[in-house]
Amino acid sequence: MPKGFQANALACGIKKSGKLDLALFTSSLAAKASCKFSANKIQAAPILVNRFNLRDSQAFRAVIVNSGNANCFCGRQGIKDAFQVAKALARTLGVRKNEVLLASTGIIGRRLPVEKIQQALPKLVDGLSLQGADKAKRAILTTDTFSKTLTVYVTIGGQKVTICGMAKGAGMIAPDMATMLVFLFTDAHILKSALEGALRICVEETFNCITVDGCMSTNDSVIMLANGSAGNTLIKTGKDFNLFLHALKVVCLELAKMIVRDAEGASKFIQIKVDEARDFQEAKKFALAIANSNLFKTAAFGENPNFGRIVAALGSCGVDLKEEDLKVRVSPLKKKEILIRVSVKRGKSSAVVYTSDLTPEYIRINAAYN
C-alpha cells in the first residue's frame, strides 16, 4: 500500500462459506477521489450513495467493500442500508459519513445484512495495517479463482510515487464497464482535474476494452484515492502528468488482463487488435464485435479455425466495410493465448480488446450461481 494507506478484512457472515467478505481501506490523510461507475441504468445502492458523497465532499478517508451481496434492486431500503453502513463506519473511524465510499458485489435482490457489518466494524478498524491488503484483496472476490493486484513505483519530481491496484471480476464482463470492482490507491500529490483525466483515459483504454460474455453488471466501480503523502511537486500537466498516466495505465491494463485470464470457465486468453481504422472508437467497435460473438468464442474453445465467424461479426457493426479491404490473421488456436489481427484499410488508428473463449464450464458456473 502507498504511504498513508492501510487495509483490513474479515468474515462477517455475508458469505455462507465463511470466507472473507468485508474489506476496508483507509487513508490517514484526506484524499482526493475519482470514480467511474457502471453504465447500467439499474445501479446498485452503493453507487448511488457514492455519487451523492462525491458531490457533497472533496476529501475521502475510507472505502468499505462487501462481497456476497450486491445491495441492488432492494428499493429505497437498499439506499438506506448503504447510508447506514457509511454512517456506522464514519462513527467508528471518527470521520464524516460523506468521507466514506462504498462498494458491493454478489447476488442481486437480497437485502444487505447491515447488522452483521455493523457488529464487525470495531474489529475491522482495530486490525488496520499495511499488511491488511493481503486479506482485503481476497475479501472482495466472488467467483474469482485468484486475487488480482499490482503495485507500480514511479519517480516524479524527485520523489517515489506509489500506485497500488486490486480488482475482482471473472463473469458478467462487458465494456462500460466490465463486471468488476477496482480499487486504486496512490500517494501522489496530484490536482483533482489531473487525477480525473488520468483515470478517464486509463479506464477507456483498459477496463472498457475487455469482455467475457457481453453482460453488464449493476455494481461496476473503479474507485481511486490520492492522498499526496509522497510529497512530490503537484502533478498538473506536462511531463509529470504523462509519467503518472503511464504508470496508472500499466496498473489498469494488467488488472484488466487478469480479469480476462480468470474469466469463468475460460480456457483461452484472446487478444484482438484492429488497425487501419478511422479512429480509436471505430477500431474498438470492430474488435468488440468479434470479442462478443458467441459463435467466435465457442469456435475458439473448439479450436475450430472458422474465419467466417470473424468476418460476419465485423460486418455486423453497421460500419461500411469492403471485403477487398479486409485482412484477418489468426494465431494457432491450439495455444492458450490467441492473437487475432484485423486490418480494415480505413485510416491509421488502432485498438486492442481482450476476451476469452466460451466453454461448458461457464454455463455450469452461472447456472448454479445463487
Query: Over the stretch 113-126, which tens digit does the pLDDT of each residue have?
Result: 999 999 999 999 99
| Residue among 291, 300, 289 nearest 357 (CA) | 300
What are 151's strand-pairing partners? 164
Q: Cell digits for 31?
A: 484524499
Is 237 a known active-site residue? no
CA 323/CA 108 separation, integer angstroms = 44
At 22, the pLDDT band (50, 70, 90 cuts) reads: very high
Q: Domains plus CATH for the chain? A: 5-261 (3.60.70.12), 269-367 (3.10.20.340)
What is the mean pLDDT of the segment spanning 224-251?
97
- Contact (CB, 8 A) for 171 and 370: no
pLDDT at 206: 94
pLDDT tens string 152-201:
999 999 999 999 999 998 655 455 544 589 999 999 999 999 999 999 99
Q: What is the band of 90 on the pLDDT scale with cuts at 50, 70, 90? A: very high
Does pLDDT of 133 surpass 80?
yes
pTM of the model: 0.91
pLDDT of residue 266: 87
pLDDT tens string 276-291: 999 999 999 999 999 9
Paired residues of 356 in beta bridges: 269
Arithmetic mean of pLDDT, 325-346? 95
Percent of the chain scoring above 70 in pLDDT: 96
Who wins on pLDDT, 265 or 103?
A: 103
Q: What is the pLDDT of residue 364?
A: 85
Q: Per-residue pLDDT averaged across 25-42, rounded?
A: 93
User: What's the helix, strand, coil split of the chain in %, to 5?
Assistant: 35, 30, 35
Helix 238-261 with 192-205: angle, nearest 10 deg: 40
Residue 363: its pLDDT value, please? Answer: 83
3-state secondary structure of 155: strand
Is residue 248 within 8 Å of residue 198, measured between CB atoms? yes
What are 1-13's pLDDT values in tens digits? 999 999 999 999 9
Q: Is residue 59 over pLDDT 80?
A: yes
Predicted pLDDT at 179:
59
Q: Has residue 369 got a pLDDT over 90?
A: no
Query: Which position among 105, 149, 179, 186 bears the catalytic label?
Result: 179
Cα 302 to Cα 29, 266, 293, 294, 358, distances in angstroms? 52, 12, 14, 12, 9
pLDDT tier, 66 (very low <50, low <70, confident <90, very high otherwise)? very high
**CB 100 within 8 Å of CB 129:** no
